[in-house]
Structures are given as structure tokens and as C-alpha cells.
Amino acid sequence: MAEQPKDDELRPSDPNLSETRFARLRKKKDMPGGLWLKCESCSSMIYRKELEEKGRVCPSCEFHFTLPGRERVVMTIDEGTWEERFAEITTLDRLKFNDNTPYLDKVEKARARTKQNEALICGTGKILGRDVVLAVLDFSFLGGSMGEVVGEKIALAAELAQAAALPLVIFTGSGGARMHEGVLSLMQMAKTCAALAELNDAGGYSICVMTHPTTGGVTASFASVCDITLAEPGALIGFAGPRVIATTLKQELPAGFQRAEFLLEKGQIDAIVKRVDMKQKLAKLIDFAKGSRIAAPAAE
């Protein structure tokens, strides 16, 4: 049996990434009763309630835990302004893919757990009073992998942003293309990039926030082609995982390789924004693009 990759070596090509990893990590990290869990970065024990109160940021080392998509929406959008769109689109299994478990069974499990049809949550709402189209890729749904539905919803979000003349804000957290959909999942890379290019040509404005982990075909497509690319601290961002690269190149990788801080230094991302500052930063960037005179809220 192949050696299991470490947590920071997610393999985008692993079709079982989400289900197995998710279940395993859950089991490993959760203490009896589920009151305490272990930080995957500094290994300190964290009181779950405290972690949730802090927006799932480690109180000891500020590691930004992966956030369920719904929590991200609540954290980002002003209360009472969220209107979900395109939620009804459901997964097709065109290839009748079956790797011991039929693909649609896996989808069904994810649907039951997340109470949503697919990995991308899309809608409109306000960020500190500014109207936006928001798209959130939910890592807890099959590792935030991109299949036909995710691609279609990103394209629809871009079209909506264009038609309504609204900024498009995208959060990513993904293991990459959804291998169960074969080449149809890879096609979404071109499709989402084309949709964003069209939005750009029409004078639209887009911001992508890459969160931990953003990998594979998502990094290599829509996550990297927005006007502004932000990342949360410590986020793993890359195409192939570090272990795959180190094995292929047969050399040691530099410290902090594929982490947000490393990529900021190399110019792949524009800024690193802490979760606690995210809403303010997004509002500022939206104002910046629109030349809006709306005063920044006092908390800034």
C-alpha cells in the first residue's frame, strides 16, 4: 500500500481525497465528546467552542482552519442580504464512474452531510453594504473538487456579475479537478477561465481569495485569473502537491514552499489577509475598483 501523504501534501489527483481524508482527519483530531481538537499546525489542544468563536483560527498559532462553505458565506455577507442562486443544479455521472463506490453514492453522502447539491455555493448579497456576487468553493463537499456543476456555477456567477454590473468575489478551497468526471472535469478549467475573461472584457471586476488548501485544476484555472488574488495566512496553494514535486525533481524543496507567504514573495498572489480582516479588505478593494466614495467603516 502506498505511503499516506501528510496533511500538507494533499494530492489533487487522489479521487478519494475528500471522503477518506475528511473522515480520517475528523476521527484523528476529535477527542471524545468532541469538545477539544488538535491544531494541525502547532499541535496544541484547542477548545472547540473557542476555535469556533475565533472563526476557526487557532488561538495559539493563528493557523486558519478550512472553513465549511456555509460558515464562509455567513462570515462574509451582511446578515439578511444573502440570496442563494443556482442551488438546484445537480451532479451527473456521465461516465458511470465506479471505484468500489459508485460516484453518485459519494455525491449523495456529501449532499446529506452538507445539505447542498454541490461543492460551489453561489449567490448575491452585501459586504459591508456593497452589493456583490459571491461564489464559495466548499472543501467539505468532495474536497471542493471541480466537476461540471462547479464549472457551470462559476460561469453563471461570472455572467450574473456581468449582467448585474456587480463585483465577483470567489473563495476557493479545493483538491482540484474531480477525477470521477474525467475529461469533463478538466474542461471546466477552460470554461471557467473563458467566463472570467468575458467578464473582464466587459469591464467586470473579480477578486479571488485562496484558502487552505487550493490545489490542482482550481489553482490552475479560475482561482488564478481574477483581477485581485488574495490568500489566507499559511494556505497551501499549488498545482501538484509538494511530495509529488520533490519526488519528481529528486531535490529538497525550499522552506515554506507552496504556502501563501512564499507565493506572495514570488508575486503569485497580491496580498495575504487574515480571516478577521477579510470583510473590511474586500469592501476596500470593491470601493477601490468602483472609485466609490462610500466611507470605510469606523472599525478599519
- Judged by CB under 5 A, the stretch of 58-66, 204-212, 218-226, 230-238 that binds Zn ion is 58-66
Taking the complex as a whole, the smallest distance from the CB of residue 38 to Zn ion amounts, in Å, to 9
Taking the complex as a whole, the smallest distance from the CB of residue 66 to Zn ion amounts, in Å, to 14
- Per the CB < 8 A criterion, the answer to whether 220 and 178 are in contact is no
- Per the CB < 8 A criterion, the answer to whether 277 and 258 are in contact is no
Mark residues 60-89: x for contact with Zn ion by CB under 5 A, - for none.
xx-x--------------------------
Given the complex with Zn ion, which of 65 and 86 has the nearer CB atom? 65
Give the up-direction half-sphere exposure of residue 132: CA atoms within 13 A in the CB hemisphere.
31
DSSP 89-136: -----TT--EESEEHHHHHHHHHHHHTSSSSEEEEEEEETTEEEEEEE
Q: Which residues, numbered 12-51, are part of the site for Zn ion (CB under 5 A)?
A: 39, 41-42
State yes or no: residue 146 binds Zn ion (CB under 5 A). Answer: no
- Per the CB < 8 A criterion, the answer to whether 145 and 178 are in contact is yes
Given the complex with Zn ion, which of 51 and 194 has the nearer CB atom? 51
Taking the complex as a whole, the smallest distance from the CB of residue 249 to Zn ion amounts, in Å, to 30
Order of strands across the sheet with 120-127?
A: 83-84, 120-127, 130-137, 168-174, 206-214, 228-231, 271-272
State yes or no: residue 57 binds Zn ion (CB under 5 A). Answer: no
Residue written as cell 467552542?
A: 49
Taking the complex as a whole, the smallest distance from the CB of residue 144 to Zn ion amounts, in Å, to 22
Taking the complex as a whole, the smallest distance from the CB of residue 29 to Zn ion amounts, in Å, to 12
Given the complex with Zn ion, which of 42 and 95 has the nearer CB atom? 42
**Binding stretches for Zn ion (CB under 5 A):** 39, 41-42, 58, 60-61, 63
